Chains A and B, each alone.
Chain A
């Protein structure tokens, strides 16, 4: 629902909260009750003086009636619906976020908690299934139990057994019982020991993204030229798990290499002069386009640069890195829109793509996207091609460059019809 279309609803809610009769409010602001009724049912647009008068009469700032909902909250609400494949009134998500911000935040928080718990269950399940120490202990216990049970069954079967065999089975039972006691104790010790080295509550990639979000995806320590103590920096930012530390190390190594080739002092003015054109900057600094895309996304948010998001994916569609930007939700794995330049770039490796993407929500927000897919790993004849695609996302470009690509965020929450890229029905209704 567009912002304009819910101003009336907000007016009506505020008026009713304060117990003001429609006719009285209309009289206060000098309009007819029937006209106010049309406004409250979003059948007449409202702005300017009348909006200010109504806001004053309701004792609220005008922007509280006219401004849109926090886009980040709305993105997360959409993601919550997509994560659970819930059939909900997605077209009214903004309305809900405006009218019930507390409940919306609760839904978002619960969804995030659910995702974290889901990840934790997955990790524990993997541990039960694949942990060699646990598997070894259980195997030892079951093997000893099998041997004891089998030998004991022979002894109590009532059949005549030679004394030699009887002695052997008695000895075997004793040996296996000792073994069983030892392996059971080992198993109990293992299960009683807190899993201090185990995986964290969240996925490693989430840990890294959370840590990076806290510094605005700009790491001042890596901007310095020369040697940087990356292990120490990693320790400061992601102390919780080894996989996250590994991911963060790789991220920082790439960041530091990019910063060395495009020092901030030269890159910032060059980016402004080039109007943030990645290809122009690539030529100027003699670096690959994907390095420029990463570098642009790492610019400090405080210096008045355009807000820029970044996504890196592999050819399976899995997201390897996400720097979110308002209004453009980036799923972690396999649920994005195949029309994004991030994915179409795989069809044209090494060729930069510049395209404008329009999302289908009522705000019809546009995003300028630069993307390129490049090979990773050492070159080699007949090696399987491994490509990573990188996409820079700039919201609300100043002017339309070309016709926008009518894309979405995820099929599940995309209302577009007749889309050849659709892979599952939409929950929109």
Chain B
């Protein structure tokens, strides 16, 4: 069975593009657009990798990441953070909270695909 990627992002056209790229690369892509219920979605799946946007409606990606790492069932799931803010302190915060990779928008499709492959191989 193909490994599952959960994309937590609220921009429909970015969701569509990333879903297309990763599906073509052989991953099963699930999407979720809301920060508030993101943890429920993760626990229900659970995915092999999470792509997590920082700015989400309801709850920030950093808060979700903090919960992911504090929850036994999700603590080990690789997380790739997406953000439109490339500031050093956001990157540092993501690393401190346990993100496996931090990617700044606008990213390239190849960059997304390569890092997903890399993280999946490490699991």
Contacts and interface: CB of A to CB of B under 8 A. Distances in A.
Given A139-B84, A142-B84, A150 B17 contact: yes
B84 A147 contact: no
Interface string B98-112: 000000011111000
Contacts of A169: 16-17, 20
Interface of A is mostly: helix
Contacts of A139: 55, 84-85
B106 A154 contact: no
Interface in A166-199: 168-169, 172, 175-176
A150 B84 contact: no
A169 B11 CA distance: 14
B13 interface: yes
Contacts of B55: 139
Contacts of A157: 109
Nearest to A143: B11
Contacts of B18: 150
A138 B83 CA distance: 12
Nearest to B105: A146
A149 interface: yes
Given A142-B84, A143-B84, A172 B16 contact: yes
Interface in B91-123: 105-109
A172 B21 contact: no
A138 B20 contact: no
Given A154-B20, A159-B24, A165-B20, A147 B13 contact: yes
B88 interface: no
A151 B13 contact: yes
B5 to A, nearest CB: 15
A169 B18 CA distance: 12
B62 to A, nearest CB: 15
A401 interface: no
Given A139-B55, A143-B84, A154 B13 contact: no
Nearest to B108: A153
Which of B13, B21, B24, B109: most chain A CB closer than 10 A? B13
A172 B11 CA distance: 11
Contact of A149 (B11, B16, B24, B108): B108
5 contacts: A147-B13, A154-B20, A154-B21, A159-B24, A169-B20
